[in-house]
Amino acid sequence: MSQFDYIKEIAKYGLENDQERLLSVLNQLVEYSKKTKKVNFAIQLQSILKESIRQQSANNLTKVGSDSYFQRIDDRDIQELILEKITSDYSLENIVAEDKVMNNLKHFIEEHERIELLQRFNLPVSNKLLLHGPSGCGKTLASYVIAGELKKMMVVVNLGAIVSSKLGETSKNLSKIFKKASLEDCIIFIDEFDSLGKVRDYSQDHGEMKRVVNTILQLFDYLPQSSIVIAATNQKDMLDTALTRRFDSIIEFSLPTISQIKNLVELTLNKSGFVFSNKKEASKVMTQCVGLSYYSIQKTLLTALKRSLFQQSDDNVKNITKINSHIWKNLVISEKKSLEVTSPN
Ligand SMILES: Nc1ncnc2c1ncn2[C@@H]1O[C@H](COP(=O)(O)OP(=O)(O)OP(=O)(O)O)[C@@H](O)[C@H]1O
Ligand SMILES: [Mg+2]
């Protein structure tokens, strides 16, 4: 079933007041959203369902059967929702960054590759890493690179989703995640780390938020040396200094310079067999890319590549295919316009 089919069924059973079928479809939609990686949506929907049953049982309006959907929601379900466990085959070769960033990443990885040596000399191991900088500049990618280089599983935690779905359970869930990850020797990747600051804006319960921050501080302080926590944010300023102080290493990602743009283009086209129709023009477009993120540049390049491919008749598609530099130029211009990026001088 597609998302639209679920919506049709929800409308039908909702209007027919068929509570049982409605709940069953909503349940299926939660599962479907989890599978299609719409984790935030799945969490929000599940939270709405839970809240509704809470109210219903409080009002004693509906009897919930023993096999009902709601009785099947337990901590395990919530954990499944908030955690995504992945293995990564990314390596340092898959990321472009300034030397300082690359060196910091390499040093962090080395500490864990050679952890026994450090421990033999009783030296502390850096295991709490904060990645910050603008969107689309490689923070999430860097966490995959670290997991890939160290050949460790990574547990991805979307803090924004946990915090907004059930503030009251955040501390409990976080403790569980940390425990599980350290037992299973996984890296914990906490995305949207700034939600810890942001949540103050819409939560009435400041006390609860303080508890969440304190839980994180404690979990960080008692983190076993071999465990790794990586947090990412594009709003470092939103974070409490008590939190930022806990990190052993803080890496700032920036928009690419012209030389990094060239490397990104090379990396993206590497192995694809594609070359530019007009190298001079392509070089000019790379200059025009300054101000855009790695993500935007890669996106426009891949779109240009596909459109160029479609422009050629099937008979003409050879092993080496040309990217129409002009198409790329126009895509870059419209990307900058839509993101309101002004050209540097
Ligand atoms: N430094 C980089 N080197 C190579 N590719 C990059 C780099 N940064 C981004 N990309 C490309 O853009 C994609 C998105 O980047 P990523 O998810 O790492 O951004 P982010 O910094 O986590 O952004 P956000 O703050 O929005 O989460 C990557 O999967 C990769 O294809
Ligand atoms: Mg990211």
- What's the pLDDT tens digit per position in 299-340? 999 999 999 988 876 666 566 688 999 999 999 999 999 999
Residue 243 confidence (pLDDT): 87
Which of 295, 296, 297, 305 has most ligand 1 atoms within 8 Å of CB, for mutation? 295
Task: Kindly state if the Cβ of 255 falls inside 6 Å of ligand 1.
Answer: no
Q: Please determine, for residue 227, whether its predicted confidence score (pLDDT) is greater than 80.
A: yes
> pLDDT (tens digit, 9 = 90+) per residue, 91-105?
999 999 999 999 999
Q: What percent of the chain has pLDDT over 90?
A: 46
165, 160, 169: which is closest to 211 by C-alpha?
Answer: 169
For the chain, the maximum distance between any two Cα atoms, rounded to a whole number of angstroms, is 73
Asked if 266 and 246 sit in the same domain, the reply is no
Do 117 and 220 belong together in one domain?
Answer: yes
The reply to whether 240 falls in a domain is yes
Which ligand has an atom closest to residue 141 CA? 1
Percent of all residues in the chain with a pLDDT value above 70, rounded to a whole number = 80
pLDDT surpasses 60 at 235 = yes
Of 252, 275, 298, the residue that ends a domain is: 252
- 121, with CB counted inside 10 A (0-12, 13-18, 19+), is exposed
CA neighbor of 154 nearest in space, from 108, 106, 191, 207: 191
Q: What's the domain count of the chain? A: 3
Confidence of residue 78 (pLDDT cuts 50, 70, 90): very low
As a whole number of Å, the CA-based R_g of the chain is 24
**Ordered strands of the 249-252 beta sheet:** 83-86, 154-158, 187-191, 228-233, 128-132, 249-252
pLDDT at 286 over 90: yes
The predicted-structure confidence for 238-260, as pLDDT tens digits, reads as follows 888 888 999 999 999 999 999 99
Q: What is the pLDDT of residue 213?
A: 81
Statement: residue 62 has pLDDT above 50: no
Residue 74 has pLDDT above 70, yes or no: no
Q: How confident is the model at residue 162 (pLDDT cuts 50, 70, 90)?
A: low
Q: Is residue 49 part of a domain?
A: no
> Mean of the pLDDT values across residues 126-148?
96
Distance 90 CA to ligand 1 centre (A): 13
Q: How far is the CA of 23 from the centre of ligand 1 (A)?
A: 38
**How far, in Å, from the CA of 343 to the mean position of ligand 1?**
21
CA 243 to CA 97: how far, in whole Å?
26
Host domain of residue 287: 258-338
Atom of ligand 1 nearest to the CA of 144: 18
Q: Are residues 93 and 23 in the same domain?
A: no
Tokens 């935030």 locate to 40
Q: What is the pLDDT of residue 48?
A: 77
Report the nearest atom of ligand 1 relative to the CA of 96.
3
Q: Is residue 245 part of a domain?
A: yes
Among candidate residues 205, 223, 252, the one where a domain is terminated: 252
Q: What is the pLDDT of residue 63?
A: 33
- For ligand 1, the distance from its centroid to the CA atom of residue 70, given in whole angstroms, is 38
User: CB count, 10 Å around CB of 267?
Assistant: 15
Same domain, 240 and 154: yes
What CATH code is carried by the domain that includes residue 194?
3.40.50.300
Q: Which residues have CB under 8 Å from 259's CB, separation 6+?
A: none
Q: Which amino acid is at 237?
A: D
Task: Say yes or no to pLDDT of 83 above 60.
Answer: no
What average pLDDT does range 27-53 have in this prediction?
A: 76
